[in-house]
Amino acid sequence: MSIRLRLTVYWAAVLGGILLIAAVAMFKLFTLEQWGSLDAALLEEADDTAEDMARAGLPGALELAKALSKELDLGPVRRVRLVTRSGVLADFGGAGVAPPALDPDFRSRGIFQTADGHFRFAVVSLVISGQQAYLEDGVDAHTIARSIERLGDILLLLVPLVLAMCVGGGYWMAGRSLQPFAALATALDSIEPSNLSSRLPVPEVADEVAHLTLVINALLERLERASANERRFASDAAHELRTPLAVLRTGLEVALARQRSVEEGRNALESALQEVVRLCRIADELLMLARLDREATVDRKPVNLGEIVSEIGAAIEPVAQAKQIDLRITTRNDAIVDGNSGHLRRLIYNLLDNALKFTPDHGIVELGVERNGDKAVLRVADTGPGIESADLPMIFERFYRGRAAGKNQGSGLGLSLCREITRLHGGEITATSRPGGGSEFVATLPLAKSGTLPLGPSRTGRIVRHLPNRAAS
């Protein structure tokens, strides 16, 4: 069932209920008003006449009954009867009207209606000359009965007619109200996957349709950006894989072109191994990026960021010693974050590896963890060439290598992985060039909400390696 038809059905149900209640209430009120006025006047005349009859005696009562039967102010026909145990003392007016059946003990009082509903009697008991008697004062009420019947017929005809007209109008209004959405769907259907740059026209009136159009345009913009990133990612991945594969193929072809010595064969295999290692690294990083793109969240558990920093610093220290780099590590035990230990290790390792790669011999690399309010701050700084201002906006893009890369043949995916890992952990990462030279990367992660790990006393440890040919810093 379409939205238009559902709206019409709901509107018909609500309106039908309202019209039915209003019609029944109107009919009941009109009926009570018509009969109430007549009954009150009829009963009042009967009471007054009964009092006069009781005082006047039997001859006077007969005259009063005759006079009452001639009063036609309440209806065109009137019948007045005076009845005792011994029989009917007086009967004037419409003789063809059947009188009501009353209590023989003279305890009846009130308004009585004939079977056809066209005659109403006011019955009052009285005492005349020592006898119990009934005064039956009846009046023809067919005009009121017919007016009530006509009102019922009119309502039976009018309510369905009004309901049908309102339902038709509601169906038309629902169609008019939904027309902008239909136009929006048509315009959206015309946008092809190959042309995501198209946007929907935004209505001038700031209503729900305009808001929905803006939301869809924002979604199209994100889809266009994601599609462009995917295409660029596929192109860059193919370009990055083509170079090492070409080098590997050329080296193998040259090695197989003629008979070579053992040393030449070893050199060719070592060169091929280097390219294979690079290919494996690129494939591993591409696979991890693909997994991170599919993950909306990561499997989280409390992780001591300071311990991971200490472990990775100790593991990578030989690399720093080989380049005569002063590696300084600052940690603390209360930097507990909710996260994935493997992802966080990759984040720290990539940032530290990037700093060691670009720091010249005898340089300094600083790795530290701090707390800032409810955030854990991971900071990696170096004394390398720094990052040019033109490279800063693109430094975290996939396969992007800055102008300062030089001979450092990285894949261009390490910092992209760092950004994705930080994003999945609800944090952010920034890169800046230090005024005195070098670069600094800062990753901010939210601390764990509850201390589920036992926390030792906060400590700050500094590990500084002094190589033989340089002074202690």
pLDDT at 157: 92
Concatenate the DSSP letters of all residues of 39-55 into one string.
Answer: HHHHHHHHHHHHHHHHH
pLDDT at 472: 34
CA angle 76, 79, 80 (to 5 degrees): 135
pLDDT digits (tens, 9 = 90+) for 12-34: 999 999 999 999 999 999 999 98
Report how far apart the first and last C-alpha atoms of the chain are (Å, whole number): 78
Rounded to whole angstroms, how far apart are CA atoms 43 and 281? 108
pLDDT at 466: 38
Rounded to whole angstroms, how far apart are CA atoms 88 and 64? 15
pLDDT at 471: 35
pLDDT at 187: 82
- Which residues, given as ranges, of the chain have pLDDT below 50? 407-408, 451-473
